[in-house]
Amino acid sequence: MKKIAMGSDHAAFEFKAKAKAYLENKGYEVEDFGPFEEGAVDYPDFVYPAVKSVVENDDTVGIVMCGSGIGASIVANKVNGARAALVYDPEVAKTTREHNDSNVLVLGPRISSEEDLFKMIDNFLETDFSNDERHIQRIDKIKGVEANER
């Protein structure tokens, strides 16, 4: 079973707590990188360490969030090795795993319904990478871009 690294900001604090409990009830091991109390915080302080944990541990995927998901997505994709997908639709959560082998799901609880957020989480975690040659080739090109930018 994969481990899940989570991080958020204050705008997603409440949903992160619900998502963590939901995932733990399903048997996932969740490492919460914070925040741990309500109050205004900066999402990079919590998203970055969560995503860093993902790229350093093959058995870990990430679920990070902020109000819209946009800021968390920007931070997550600055980490070499992260393939973070900002998702607003359950079907896209499935597609990003199948096609992009995304290792970080980015959510915006202010933008999506709670019902859809849980569907996105389930689809992301229950979908495997297709291992299709064309998708592998594209991911290799992404890795090439990262290597060029170091």
What amino acid positions are annotated as catalytic residues? 66, 99
Residue 56, judged by CB atoms within 10 A of its CB (0-12, 13-18, 19+), counts as exposed
- Within 8 A by CB and 6+ apart from 53, the residues are 5, 31, 33, 60, 62
Looking at 4-132, list the stretches that DSSP marks H as alpha helix, in order from N- to C-terminal side. Answer: 13-25, 44-56, 70-76, 90-100, 114-126
Q: Is the peptide bond before 49 cis (omega within 30 degrees of 0)?
A: no
